[in-house]
Amino acid sequence: MARVVVDVMPKPEILDPQGQAVARALPRLGFTGVTEVRQGKHFELDVDDTVDDETLAKIAEGFLANPVIEQWTIRRVDA
Amino acid sequence: MSARIGVITFPGTLDDGDAARAVRYADAEAVPLWHADADLRGVDGVVVPGGFSYGDYLRAGVIARFAPVMTSVIDAARKGMPVLGICNGFQILCEAGLLPGAMIRNVGLHFVCRDQWLRVDDNTTAWTSRYDKGAEILIPVKNNDGCYMADKSTLDMLEAEGRVVFRYVDGNPNGSRNDIAGVRSENGRIVGLMPHPEHAIDALTGPSDDGLGLFLSAVDAFAKA
C-alpha cells in the first residue's frame, strides 16, 4: 500500500475567480502582504502495489484534472 | 414519420423535462435515454440537458462523461449524429472532448439566473439553421460554472473558423472569453451553449419563444439527411 498525492491547480494563464476572491478578502480580515492566491484541489489516493506510475498518470490526466484549464503533480508519500 | 430526438437523464439532471417538451413543440418525438443504458434507441439526434449531473462532484460534467450512455453518444457524434449540449450538457460535451474549451466558476462567483440576450453568429449548424445570422434572441441563463475558457490558440482557431455559434450581448454574465455563450464542432453537427433554449419555447412559460429555433433546425437537418 502507498499513499499518492495529486495536486491539481488552475493553469497560470487561466483566470481563478475563487483564488481572487480569497485574495481580496484577506485585507478585509486585517491580513496584509498577500499579493496573490490560487485555489486548487488536493487528492489523497491509497493504492496497492498493482497501481503503477503510468496508471496514476492516466488517472490524473484523464479524470482528476482537466488539461484544458488545469495542471497537476503526482507524488508518492509515506502513508 | 416524425424525427426522434433522445433526451438524456443522469442522476442530478434537472432540465430533461423541459428539453423533451421543446422537442415535442418542434413536432419531433422525445425519446428518454437513461445514463446507465448504452442503447440510443435508434434516435436521430441527442439533447444533453442541463442540471447538476452527479452533483457537479470533481468538476461539472466530468463524471457524466464516463456514463454508459455517453460512450454511445460520443461514438455516434463522431459519426455525424447531431448533438446539442445545454448548460451542464455543454460542460459534459467539453469534458468528453467533443467540443473545445472548458467552463470555470463565474467571474464574481455568483450563481447567475436571468434572461439573457444572445447573438446568433453562426447559422450553418444542424441546430441553428432556422435563425438569421446576427439575430438577437432572448433566453434564460442559469449557472454557477458558466465562464467559457480556452487557451488563446483555441480561441483564435474558433474565431477564424467561425465556430462561435452564440455570443452574449448586452452584458457578459460570467466572464466568458470573447463573450462566448456557445460553440460548435468542426462539422457543425455538435453544438453546446450555456443558456437554456428549452426554457424559451413558449411566451406563456418563458421570456420568449426564441429558443424553439434550435429544435426546429434539428428537425430540418434530419429531414434533409
pLDDT of residue A79: 60
Q: What pairs with residue B143 in β-bridges? A: B112
Nearest to A66 among B102, B106, B109 (CB): B102
Q: Contact A10/B102, CB-based, under 8 Å?
A: no
Which residue is listed with cell 433554449? B197
Q: For A28-51, what is each residue's pLDDT tens digit?
A: 999 999 999 999 999 999 999 999
pLDDT of residue B205: 94
pLDDT of residue B198: 98
Annotated active-site residue B198? The verdict is: yes
For chain B, which residues score pLDDT lower than 70? 1
B74 contacts in chain A (CB < 8 Å): none
ipTM of predicted assembly, 2 dp: 0.87
Strand order in the sheet with B136-143: B29-34, B4-9, B45-48, B83-86, B190-193, B180-184, B164-168, B112-120, B136-143
Question: Closest approach of chain A CAs to the CA of B175, in angstroms?
Answer: 9
Taking CA atoms, what residue in A is nearest to B176?
A15
Q: Contact A68/B150, CB-based, under 8 Å?
A: yes
Which of the residues A59, A68, A72 would you substitute to probe the B interface, choosing the one with the greatest number of B C-beta atoms within 10 Å? A68
Q: Contact B151/A13, CB-based, under 8 Å?
A: yes
B192 contacts in chain A (CB < 8 Å): none
pLDDT band with cut points at 50, 70 and 90 for residue A1: confident
Taking CA atoms, what residue in A is nearest to B64?
A63
A13 contacts in chain B (CB < 8 Å): 151
Mean pLDDT of chain B: 97
Q: For B95-145, what is each residue's pLDDT tens digit?
A: 999 999 999 999 989 999 999 999 999 999 999 999 999 999 999 999 999
Residues in chain B: 225
pLDDT band with cut points at 50, 70 and 90 for residue A78: confident
pTM (two decimals): 0.94
